[in-house]
Amino acid sequence: MGEILDGFDCPAILVSAEYEILATNREYEDSFGAIDFQHTNRCYEISHGYNKPCDQAGEDCPLGAAKASGHKERVLHIHQTPRGREHVDVEMLPIHNREGKLIYFVELLHPVPLASGVSSAMEMVGESEIFQKMVSKIARVGSSEASVLLLGESGTGKELAARAIHMASARKDKALVSLECAGLTDSLFESELFGHIKGAFTGAINTKKGLVELANGGTLFLDEIGDIPLPMQVKLLRLIETGTFRPLGSSEVRTSDFRLICATHKNLYEMVRTGEFRADLYYRINVFPILLPSLAERTADIPLIAKSLLSKLDPTGDYHFTSKATRKLQTLEYPGNIRELRNLISRALVMADTNVIDQQVIELALEDAPDRITLSPIERIDNGTQWVDLKTQEKRYLSELMDAHQGSKEVVAKILGISTRSLYRKLED
Whether residue 281 sits in one domain with residue 224? yes
Number of domains in the chain: 4
CATH assignment of the domain containing 412: 1.10.10
Q: What's the CA gap between 231 and 234, in Å, rounded?
A: 6
**pTM for the structure as a whole:** 0.70
Dihedrals phi, psi of 53, to nearest 5 degrees: -55, 155
Element (H, E) at 398: helix 390-404
Whether residue 42 sits in one domain with residue 169? no
Whether residue 306 sits in one domain with residue 421? no
Q: Quote the pLDDT of residue 357.
A: 95
**SS3 category, 186:** helix
On whether the CB atoms of residues 247 and 200 are closer than 8 A, the answer is yes
**Selection from 303, 301, 350 nearest residue 327 by Cα:** 303
CATH assignment of the domain containing 73: 3.30.450.20
Q: What's the CA gap between 345 and 266, in Å, rounded?
A: 28
Question: Which residue ranges in the chain fall short of pLDDT 70?
Answer: 1-3, 114-122, 199-204, 368-393, 396, 425, 428-429
Q: Quote the pLDDT of residue 380.
A: 39
Q: Quote the pLDDT of residue 416.
A: 77
- pLDDT tens for each residue of 78-135: 777 777 777 788 888 988 888 888 888 899 888 777 665 544 445 788 888 899 899 9
Strands (DSSP E) found in 166-301: 176-180, 195-196, 208-209, 219-223, 244-245, 254-255, 259-264, 288-291
Q: Quote the pLDDT of residue 383.
A: 40
Q: What's the CA gap between 116 and 84, in Å, rounded?
A: 8
In a domain, 12, yes or no: yes
Q: Quote the pLDDT of residue 344.
A: 94
Q: What's the CA gap between 211 and 148, in Å, rounded?
A: 18
Amino acid letter for position 217: G
Q: Within 13 Å, how many C-alpha atoms sit on residue 117's CB side? A: 20
Whether residue 35 sits in one domain with residue 161? no
In a domain, 133, yes or no: no
> Nearest 5 degrees, angle CA 318-CA 319-CA 321?
145
In a domain, 248, yes or no: yes
- Say how far residue 110 (Cα) sits from the centre of its chain: 16
CATH assignment of the domain containing 222: 3.40.50.300
**Selection from 415, 307, 327 nearest residue 376 by Cα:** 327
**Selection from 140, 175, 158, 159 nearest residue 287 by Cα:** 140
Question: Strand pairing of 195-196 and 208-209?
Answer: antiparallel
In sequence order, what are the beta bridge partners of 220? Answer: 177, 260
In a domain, 128, yes or no: no
Element (H, E) at 88: strand 84-96
For the beta carbon of residue 251, count every other beta carbon within 10 angstroms: 7
Among candidate residues 252, 276, 291, the one where a domain is terminated: 291
Q: What's the CA gap between 33 and 22, in Å, rounded?
A: 15
Question: Strand pairing of 288-291 and 148-151?
Answer: parallel
Domain span holding position 247: 139-291
Whether residue 274 sits in one domain with residue 162? yes
Whether residue 269 sits in one domain with residue 146? yes
Q: Quote the pLDDT of residue 391.
A: 62
